[in-house]
Amino acid sequence: MPTSNRGSAKTQTTGNASLAAFDRPVPAGVNAAGFGSDVVADALRALDIPYIALNPGASYRGLHDSLVNYLGNERPQMLLCLHEESAVAIAHGYAKVTGKAMAAAVHSNVGLMHATMAIFNAWCDRMPMVILGATGPVDAVKRRPWIDWIHTARDQGALIRGYTKWDDQPASPVAAREAVLRASWIANTAPRGPTYVNLDAEMQESKLAEAVPPIEAKRYMPPVATAPAADVVKTASELLRNAKRPVILAGRVSRELDAWNARVALAERLSARVVTDLKVGAAFPTDHHLHAGAPGGTVLAPEAADAIRAADVILSLDWVDVAGTFKNAGGNVSAKVVQISVDHHLHNGWSMDYQGLPPVDVFIACEPDTAVPPLLAALGPGGPRAAASGAKEFPKLAADELTVDHLADSLRRAVGERPASLTHVSLSWNGASWLFRHPLDYLGSDGGGGVGGGPGISVGAALALQGTGRLAVAVCGDGDFMMGITALWTAAHYHIPLLIVVANNRSFFNDELHQERVARIRNRPVENRWVGQRISEPDIDLAGIARAQGAQGFGPVTSIADLAPTFAKAIAAVEGGAVVVVDVRVEPGYTAAMTAVMTRKSE
């Protein structure tokens, strides 16, 4: 597709039909690129980027005008956000579902500063996005007094260079077009991640001296196919074929159903136990008899730890933290290790999110989705071996107190057989409370442990899930919800249906457990763990905060009996198109295993 644009009226593109109805500008009658920022807008259109989540700023007023008056606010359509952190989180959630980058635009330095945590979350989660920022004018002579000076920095990309794949500050419209294409190509190429293009205000606003010749954007975005080397596949398959107790650690994989089915076939061919992790999206059916225990997070399920310790061969499908998992499993892991990953291409000296260096005997340098079919083929047919037992049980519910397990139980029953995607879960979530049977059943965590990502990521995921028939359901902690709260307004404004259930323990409870542990180690009163952690007196009216932004709010739900009828009403409202928040007052507490690990006295 050429990057030249022939005006909004003539280029009605697809996208979400209902969303396209919002924020329609009057036709500007602009049909040819006249300014630098029009060329940037053309590049975004050529990439077929559907949305650009943004918070406005004068530094990119040129681009803003091009998006509205040149492209007609479609393809990409602006999604107005109340905070840059939610703009980036929305792009993050969108990528979690689609595997593809959408765009986010943030104002010169201060907007980027707001965006940083969400960019870090996306980076650690290996999710693609193209972030556009602005600066300048770089030429000091062109700067307006004061404001242009405080909002110009010599090397803005340095703010985020440690957790972006690439950044640039192009000096001309043609260079900017190239930068946008490159940013998209790099972001979308595995290992995926955010990229940043910083647009000089003067470059955006300058009149084009002559028409910019069109280029065929696709030719600058070659798909990067990686295939595993045949001899390495052979070595790995021999190891696996001869394994007596193989284990698959199913980590960062795609949302594709074919790849999911291939993983199941591989596990069945090997009779391998499979371990999954709440840090990343669903990778294997958790009710399959080969799935070991419930998906874990910080803590491994005992069945998973047992399987890892007993394993003679471990196959990591880009598992997030192999070395740490071995440590958590008890340390004495003697298995041969096959690692499938391209993640090492991303590792840098700033961020340690690459985790500990694991022992690896065979390294297959490609994406797991690409390696599994040739591995299966190399293994050849084989009779199914004895199946390991793996009956799944949901958590037992205490009769009296309303806990997060009650919330999950009631929510699961209320959702019933509807296809649903859990777009986020709270730190208090028990991995045993929900079954994942499809790659879109669960989208993983925030990636970087940055609290406040839950609402925005869920709005972005819900946006991408529109039209799939899937109910978007998020469970957020109250701390997470409050930090990311303004993303709700964007969902309400663009009518993106979503259910957010707040597991409201009225505390930054995770840190209560940390304070308890420190107090235990120091022989100081554990009773004081709540000080500086509890979010009460006054209690926050979470439903009210939702209503104030145009969402529907239910609760606080304080009794177990009220859960079911409230969820029934909430789901009906979401199915009617609403954004809904249900505030559920849960007793503070994590799973017994998590609590034991977090409050232990020793290392």
Ligand X SMILES: Cc1ncc(C[n+]2csc(CCOP(=O)(O)OP(=O)(O)O)c2C)c(N)n1
Q: Is 169 in the site for ligand X (CB under 6 A)?
A: no
Q: Of the candidates 8, 69, 421, 426, which one interacts with ligand X according to CB under 6 A?
A: 426
Chain centroid, CA 312 distance in Å: 33
Q: Which one of the spans 167-175, 209-217, 456-464, 476-484 is the region binding ligand X (CB under 6 A)? A: 476-484
Shortest approach of ligand X to residue 404 CB, angstroms? 8
Q: Whole-angstrom Cα distance, residue 423 to residue 457?
A: 7
Shortest approach of ligand X to residue 556 CB, angstroms? 14
Shortest approach of Mg ion to residue 482 CB, angstroms? 9
Q: Of the candidates 148, 367, 480, 583, which one interacts with ligand X according to CB under 6 A?
A: 480
Residue number, 443 or 483, with CB nearest to ligand X? 483
Structure tokens at 82: 């109340």
Shortest approach of ligand X to residue 383 CB, angstroms? 46
- Torsion angle in degrees (nearest 10) through CA of 596, 292, 125, 229: 140
Which ranges constitute the DSSP H helices of 359-426? 368-379, 404-415
Q: Whole-angstrom Cα distance, residue 340 to residue 375?
A: 11
Q: Which residue is nearest to ligand X (CB)?
A: 477
Q: Of the candidates 164, 370, 505, 549, which one interacts with Mg ion according to CB under 5 A?
A: 505
Match 């899930």 to its residue by tokens: 465
Structure tokens at 185: 């190509």
Shortest approach of ligand X to residue 121 CB, angstroms? 9
For residues 507 to 526, the per-residue mask of contacts with Mg ion, x marking binding by CB under 5 A and - elsewhere, is x-x-----------------
Give Dmax (Cα) for the chain: 76
Strand order in the sheet with 273-275: 273-275, 246-250, 313-317, 336-340, 362-364
Please spell the DSSP secondary structure of 42-55, one letter per residue.
HHHHHTT--EEEE-
Q: Of the candidates 39, 40, 292, 427, which one interacts with ligand X according to CB under 6 A?
A: 427
Shortest approach of Mg ion to residue 403 CB, angstroms? 13
Q: Of the candidates 51, 70, 163, 508, which one interacts with ligand X according to CB under 6 A?
A: 508
Match 């803590």 to its residue by tokens: 299
Q: Is 477 in the site for Mg ion (CB under 5 A)?
A: yes
Q: Whole-angstrom Cα distance, residue 77 to residue 19?
A: 9
Positive or negative CA dihedral for 70, 73, 79, 80?
positive
Q: Whole-angstrom Cα distance, residue 239 to residue 331?
A: 22
- Between vectors from CA 455 to CA 450 and to CA 461, what angle results, nearest 5°? 105
- Report the phi/psi class of residue 124: left, alpha or beta, with left for phi > 0 and alpha for psi in -120 to 50: alpha
Shortest approach of ligand X to residue 472 CB, angstroms? 19
Interacting positions 431-470 with ligand X (CB under 6 A):
449-452
Residue 430 interacts with which of ligand X, Mg ion, none, CB < 5 to 8 Å by class? none
Residue number, 477 or 556, with CB nearest to Mg ion? 477
Q: Which one of the spans 35-43, 107-115, 346-354, 422-430 is the region binding ligand X (CB under 6 A)? A: 422-430
Q: Whole-angstrom Cα distance, residue 229 to residue 235?
A: 10
Q: Is 484 in the site for ligand X (CB under 6 A)?
A: no
Contacting residues toward Mg ion, per CB under 5 A: 477-479, 505, 507, 509
Contacting residues toward ligand X, per CB under 6 A: 117, 426-428, 449-452, 477-480, 505, 507-511
